[in-house]
Amino acid sequence: MSDTESDTDSTLRAILSDVLGLSPDRVAAFDASTGLFGDLPELDSMAVAGLLTEIEDRLDVVIEDDEVDGELLESYGNLLAFLESKVAEKA
């Protein structure tokens, strides 16, 4: 398994597809610079809470309120790097 296809990466892609109703093909094309909040119409302020809850459930991590900011959801790469660090902390 390469770094670009980590378990966290594939799980995050599945969550984005499931929660936001995005096609798996569209999510598969996301790279580190793909914009999320503000770029994906499906990811509005109402969807953020559901997305974060699903991430916590599926990755078995806790995302504190003070960890959530505009930068976190700015790009796919930012969100993935944050989640990989959270997963590594619990390992």
Cα dihedral 71, 76, 79, 81 in deg (nearest 10):
-110
Output the pLDDT for position 76.
98
pLDDT confidence tier of residue 90, bands split at 50, 70 and 90: confident
pLDDT per residue over 19-64, tens digit each? Answer: 999 999 999 999 999 999 999 999 999 999 999 999 999 999 999 9
User: What's the CA gap between 5 and 65, in Å, rounded?
Assistant: 28
CB atoms within 10 A of CB 83: 21
pTM as predicted: 0.92
Rounded Cα gap, residues 62 and 33, in angstroms = 25
CATH 1.10.1200.10 fits 3-90, yes or no: yes
